């Protein structure tokens, strides 16, 4: 970086921000990171990096990082402590909760920022040491709807195609995603394709994003109306006979049931709900069906709705009808938000499934044999159910690894109230984030620059993370903290690992689709799973023959149920929330350092016509209020946003945008409805 000494050493690793998973070389000198550069021949980023990957590492040696375990004293103050004292305190207090209220009074949360090895041990700790399936991670609030819909319909809850398929696609269907800001290197690869005229894009998004401007079609729908819009596209494909009859005959069931249901979903009917002209819906359907291979990439604009899982099912219907599955340049591809969110959930930080997304029922015996211990029998709670149980007094202790739930979960008032009711809150993280400020014990974790392990990106690629620096102060890798805590609770013999690689080898032993992914083979570039043995090159495209759960897939009938969030005279705007280019999620990492100078706080984006009507000036501090709470943040006048709609990022703890968001949830997996809150806006101080 600028004004930094030259690097003395370069270490090959993976970017710790988004789910693209760019390979990096980390330059260090005198115990600090001085530079991060892209790996030139990396399969994912091919020599590129975005601003976050290149410049977002100042958090690593930040003076605000916690260097010692902290225990909350009776007077409410933190007291620094040694590791054994802190771990004994946690062990004793967890034991007391388990003895008094049973193991299901404890919840454990894994981290999308931590490695696969860390997360494997998080769920093993919950299931084996605590004795509960109450284990989850932040996938719950982003792409669990994608994983659930894809698992139900196709048998595997992960992207069907690799990023290299971008260069093979003729058409992109980009739904509720803004890769230019949220997945910049993937956004750039798509943009290259469009600029060269090699492919066309259909963007379905309320906002006029960069890719929407470059797309052949931009369907600027009202937030919350994905299902009717996608049903109408399917209507056109079926009614006009645009579907792939050969593919459907050989591999798809349920066409007649879908056809009769879709009869009512004409583009005209959808147009009235979505605010998109019927002619555009027809054109989009024809383009998607007629210019294969067509690659669908979707983001949280699909999943973070009360019909999130069902929205993904509608996308899968389109791909099944048009034969855009099991071939190069096609597929259904959720753009995962965080570096290792795919890995955290897949390692088993999910109440209902074990490592490798294997079902509890079918895999219980395998895991009990591998772990030499019985698995619990009660159904586990997901993150949102844990918060409800805490509020109701049934969940007494929560152990949180690298996840700022206070700032991240929708409807912050409910989160705070639930956290206050806990007897024990333990946070393991780099910084005293907003959740940690309410904790009883804080355990300082090593960053991903300070440990070995692996991440799994959005295309199912597992890549090695390598240590560039020693852990700061007394910080320790997450997996090591869990091993020591297991020992303090008397179960150390089940957590006896010399290093991250020995944990990974246990993962490979219990997860047949990952058995071939040895550290030695992951060397450079990593490998895509399924990869079943050491000779398997890994699989770029899923479902080439049959589907993971059988020879055929079944189309789903999904009816439209409007969200409970409605605009009215008092709350006339529809608010969506999302990420911006320079910041990342709770700002724990990106909020420290040069990225903050580029975008110092969150902004409330409003259409110029609305701003003029309300006589608001650009940059003015506004109060945003919903039926659930209010927050203050500066206005950014933006033609990207449609009249009547608002968009805000959610990175700044001082703004705490989730004070405003709605408590509505996806009806199937309970992801919060971040993309739709009815709101009003006033000048701050005058509300
Ligand atoms: Fe990191 Fe994502 Fe940027 Fe790549 S695109 S450098 S993985 S933040």
Query: Looking at ligand 1, which atom is closest to the CA of residue 53?
Result: 6
Our answer on whether the CB atom of 108 is closer than 6 Å to any ligand 1 atom is: no
Rounded to the nearest 10 degrees, how much is the dihedral formed by the CA atoms of 303, 304, 306, 308?
Answer: 0
Our answer on whether the CB atom of 595 is closer than 6 Å to any ligand 1 atom is: no
- Whose alpha carbon is nearest atom 2 of ligand 1? 18
Q: Which pTM value belongs to this model?
A: 0.93
Least confident piece of the model among 98-112, 300-314, 418-432: 300-314
Taking each helix axis from N to C terminus, what angle separates 478-488 and 83-101, rounded to the nearest 10 degrees? 60
In 3D space, the residue among 667, 616, 659 whose CA is nearest the CA of residue 637 turns out to be 616
How far apart, in whole angstroms, are the C-alpha atoms of residue 199 and residue 555? 27
Our answer on whether the CB atom of 15 is closer than 6 Å to any ligand 1 atom is: yes
- CB 220, CB 275: distance < 8 Å: yes
β-sheet bridge partners, residue 623 = 632, 682
Kindly give the distance from the C-alpha atom of residue 491 to the centroid of ligand 1, in angstroms, as a whole number. 38
pLDDT higher than threshold 50 for residue 1: no
pLDDT higher than threshold 70 for residue 586: no
Which token pair is 162?
């690799």
Domain ranges of the chain: 9-61, 70-141+339-510, 145-334, 573-683
Kindly give the distance from the C-alpha atom of residue 449 to the centroid of ligand 1, in angstroms, as a whole number. 15
Our answer on whether the CB atom of 39 is closer than 6 Å to any ligand 1 atom is: no
The correct CATH number of 573-683 out of 2.60.410.10, 2.40.40.20, 3.20.20.140, 3.40.50.300 is 2.40.40.20
How far apart, in whole angstroms, are the C-alpha atoms of residue 506 and residue 315? 36
In 3D space, the residue among 24, 80, 79 whose CA is nearest the CA of residue 50 turns out to be 24
Mean pLDDT of 619-645: 94
Kindly give the distance from the C-alpha atom of residue 51 to the centroid of ligand 1, in angstroms, as a whole number. 8
Whole-number pLDDT of residue 139? 83
ipTM for the predicted complex comes to 0.99
Query: Looking at ligand 1, which atom is closest to the CA of residue 15?
Result: 1
Burial class for 29, CB neighbours closer than 10 Å (0-12, 13-18, 19+): middle
Report the first-to-last Cα separation within the chain, whole angstroms: 44
Rounded to the nearest 10 degrees, how much is the dihedral formed by the CA atoms of 429, 434, 435, 438?
Answer: 120
Whole-number pLDDT of residue 649? 87
Report which DSSP code applies to 104: G
Our answer on whether the CB atom of 302 is closer than 6 Å to any ligand 1 atom is: no
Least confident piece of the model among 106-115, 554-563, 582-591: 582-591
Instruction: Report how far apart, in Å, the C-alpha atoms of 258 and of each of 40, 232, 549 are.
Output: 47, 12, 21
Kindly give the distance from the C-alpha atom of residue 186 to the centroid of ligand 1, in angstroms, as a whole number. 9
CATH says 145-334 is which class? Answer: alpha beta
Our answer on whether the CB atom of 232 is closer than 6 Å to any ligand 1 atom is: no
Kindly give the distance from the C-alpha atom of residue 54 to the centroid of ligand 1, in angstroms, as a whole number. 8
> Which has the higher per-residue pLDDT, 548 or 397?
397
The correct CATH number of 70-141+339-510 out of 3.30.9.10, 3.30.565.10, 1.25.40.10, 3.40.50.740 is 3.40.50.740
Whole-number pLDDT of residue 161? 97
In 3D space, the residue among 679, 572, 681 whose CA is nearest the CA of residue 634 turns out to be 681
Instruction: Tell me the torsion sign for CA atoms 193, 197, 198, 204.
Output: positive
Angle at 576 between CA 571 and CA 579, to 5 degrees: 145
Pocket probe mutation, ligand 1, options 14, 16, 22, max atoms within 8 Å of Cβ? 22
Q: Where are the beta strands (DSSP E) in 505-555?
A: 527-528, 553-554
Distance of CA 403 to the CA centre of its chain: 12
pLDDT higher than threshold 50 for residue 264: yes
Pocket probe mutation, ligand 1, options 49, 178, 297, max atoms within 8 Å of Cβ? 49
Kindly give the distance from the C-alpha atom of residue 611 to the centroid of ligand 1, in angstroms, as a whole number. 33
Distance of CA 87 to the CA centre of its chain: 30
Distance of CA 231 to the CA centre of its chain: 25
Fold held by 9-61: N-terminal domain of TfIIb (2.20.25)
Query: Looking at ligand 1, which atom is closest to the CA of residue 584?
Result: 8
Q: Is 525 helix (H, G, I), strand (E, B) or coil?
A: coil
Burial class for 648, CB neighbours closer than 10 Å (0-12, 13-18, 19+): buried
Kindly give the distance from the C-alpha atom of residue 463 to the centroid of ligand 1, in angstroms, as a whole number. 14
**Model confidence over 492-504: pLDDT tens digits?**
999 999 999 999 9
Query: Looking at ligand 1, which atom is closest to the CA of residue 21?
Result: 7
Q: Report CA Rg, the chain.
A: 24
**Model confidence over 116-147: pLDDT tens digits?**
999 999 999 999 999 999 999 988 877 888 98
In 3D space, the residue among 661, 652, 660 whose CA is nearest the CA of residue 587 turns out to be 652
Whole-number pLDDT of residue 668? 87
Pocket probe mutation, ligand 1, options 16, 18, 166, 335, max atoms within 8 Å of Cβ? 18
Kindly give the distance from the C-alpha atom of residue 299 to the centroid of ligand 1, in angstroms, as a whole number. 16
Taking each helix axis from N to C terminus, what angle separates 255-262 and 226-239, rounded to the nearest 10 degrees? 110
Kindly give the distance from the C-alpha atom of residue 366 to the centroid of ligand 1, in angstroms, as a whole number. 36
β-sheet bridge partners, residue 516 = none
Question: What contacts 155, CB < 8 A, 6 or more positions away?
Answer: 543, 547, 548, 549, 550
Other beta carbons within 10 Å of 372: 9
Pocket probe mutation, ligand 1, options 19, 20, 59, 465, max atoms within 8 Å of Cβ? 20
**Model confidence over 639-677: pLDDT tens digits?**
999 999 999 988 888 888 888 888 888 888 888 888 889
What is the per-residue burial (b if ≥16 Cβ within 10 Å, else e) of 126-139?
bbbbbbbbbbbbbb
Instruction: Report how far apart, in Å, the C-alpha atoms of 184 and of each of 18, 161, 173, 524, 608 are.
Output: 9, 18, 17, 22, 26
**Model confidence over 336-353: pLDDT tens digits?**
878 888 899 999 999 999
Our answer on whether the CB atom of 53 is closer than 6 Å to any ligand 1 atom is: yes
- Whose alpha carbon is nearest atom 4 of ligand 1? 22
**Model confidence over 443-487: pLDDT tens digits?**
999 999 999 999 999 999 999 999 999 999 999 999 999 999 999
Pocket probe mutation, ligand 1, options 13, 14, 50, max atoms within 8 Å of Cβ? 50
pLDDT higher than threshold 60 for residue 192: yes
In 3D space, the residue among 45, 331, 315, 330 whose CA is nearest the CA of residue 168 turns out to be 330
How far apart, in whole angstroms, are the C-alpha atoms of residue 424 and residue 26? 38
How far apart, in whole angstroms, are the C-alpha atoms of residue 168 and residue 152? 27
Query: Looking at ligand 1, which atom is closest to the CA of residue 184?
Result: 5
Instruction: Tell me the torsion sign for CA atoms 279, 281, 283, 286.
Output: negative
Per the prediction, the chain carries an average pLDDT of 93
Our answer on whether the CB atom of 463 is closer than 6 Å to any ligand 1 atom is: no
How far apart, in whole angstroms, are the C-alpha atoms of residue 235 and residue 243? 10
Our answer on whether the CB atom of 402 is closer than 6 Å to any ligand 1 atom is: no
């Amino acid at each position: 970086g600028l004004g930094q000494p030259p690097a003395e050493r370069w270490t090959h690793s993976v970017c710790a921000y988004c789910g693209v998973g760019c390979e990096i070389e980390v330059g260090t000198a005198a115990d600090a990171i001085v530079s991060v550069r892209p790996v030139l021949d990396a399969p994912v980023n091919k020599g590129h990096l975005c601003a976050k990957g290149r410049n977002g590492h100042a958090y690593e040696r930040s003076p605000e990082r916690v260097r010692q375990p902290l225990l909350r004293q009776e007077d409410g103050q933190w007291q620094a402590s040694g590791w054994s004292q802190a771990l004994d305190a946690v062990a004793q207090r967890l034991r007391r909760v388990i003895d008094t209220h049973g193991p299901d009074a404890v919840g454990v949360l894994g981290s999308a920022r931590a490695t696969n090895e860390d997360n494997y041990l998080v769920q093993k700790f919950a299931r084996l040491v605590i004795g509960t399936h109450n284990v989850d991670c932040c996938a719950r609030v982003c792409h669990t709807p994608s994983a659930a819909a894809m698992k139900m319909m196709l048998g595997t809850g992960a992207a069907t195609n690799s990023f290299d398929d971008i260069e093979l696609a003729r058409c992109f269907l980009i739904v509720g995603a803004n890769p230019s800001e949220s997945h910049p290197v993937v956004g750039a690869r798509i943009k290259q394709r469009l600029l060269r005229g090699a492919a066309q894009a259909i963007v379905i998004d309320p906002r006029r994003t960069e890719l929407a401007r470059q797309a052949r079609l931009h369907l600027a729908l009202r937030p919350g109306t994905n299902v009717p819009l996608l049903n109408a596209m399917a209507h056109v494909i079926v009614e006009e006979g645009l579907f792939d009859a050969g593919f459907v005959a050989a591999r798809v069931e349920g066409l007649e049931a879908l056809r009769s249901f879709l009869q009512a979903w004409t583009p005209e009917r959808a147009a009235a709900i979505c605010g998109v002209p019927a002619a555009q819906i027809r054109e989009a359907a024809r383009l998607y069906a007629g210019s294969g291979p067509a690659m669908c990439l979707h983001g949280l604009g699909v999943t973070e709705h009360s019909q999130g899982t069902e929205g993904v099912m509608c996308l899968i219907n389109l791909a099944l009808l048009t034969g855009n599955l099991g071939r190069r340049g096609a597929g259904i591809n959720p753009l995962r938000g965080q570096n290792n969110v795919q890995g955290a959930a897949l390692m088993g930080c999910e109440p209902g499934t074990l490592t490798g997304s294997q079902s509890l029922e079918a895999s219980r015996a395998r895991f009990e044999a591998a772990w030499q211990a019985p698995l619990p029998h009660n159904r586990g709670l997901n993150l949102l159910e844990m918060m409800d149980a805490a509020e109701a007094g049934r969940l007494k202790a929560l152990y949180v690894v690298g996840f700022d739930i206070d700032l991240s979960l929708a409807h912050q008032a409910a989160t705070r109230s639930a956290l206050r009711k806990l007897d024990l809150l333990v946070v393991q993280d780099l910084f005293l984030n907003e959740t940690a400020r309410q904790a009883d014990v804080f355990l300082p974790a090593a960053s991903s620059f300070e440990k070995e392990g692996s991440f799994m990106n959005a295309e199912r690629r597992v890549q090695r993370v390598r240590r560039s620096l020693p852990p700061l102060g007394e910080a320790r890798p997450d997996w090591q903290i869990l091993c020591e805590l297991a020992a303090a609770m008397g179960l150390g013999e089940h957590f006896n690992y010399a290093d991250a690689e020995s944990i990974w080898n246990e993962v490979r032993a219990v997860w047949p689709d990952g058995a071939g992914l040895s550290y030695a083979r992951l060397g450079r570039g990593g490998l895509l799973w399924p990869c079943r043995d050491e000779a398997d090159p890994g699989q770029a495209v899923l479902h080439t023959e049959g589907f993971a759960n059988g020879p055929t897939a079944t189309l789903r009938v999904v009816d439209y149920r409007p969200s409970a969030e409605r605009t009215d005279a008092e709350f006339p705007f529809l608010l969506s929330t999302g990420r911006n280019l320079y910041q990342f999620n709770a700002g724990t990492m990106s909020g420290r350092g040069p990225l903050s100078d580029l975008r110092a706080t969150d902004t409330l984006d409003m259409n110029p016509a609305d701003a003029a009507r309300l006589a608001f000036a650009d940059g003015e501090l506004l109060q945003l209020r919903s039926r659930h709470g209010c927050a203050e943040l500066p206005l950014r006048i933006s033609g990207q946003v449609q009249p009547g709609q608002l968009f805000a990022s959610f990175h700044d703890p001082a703004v705490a945008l989730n004070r405003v968001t709605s408590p509505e949830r996806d009806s199937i997996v309970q992801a919060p409805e971040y993309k739709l809150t009815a709101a009003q806006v006033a000048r701050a101080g005058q509300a």
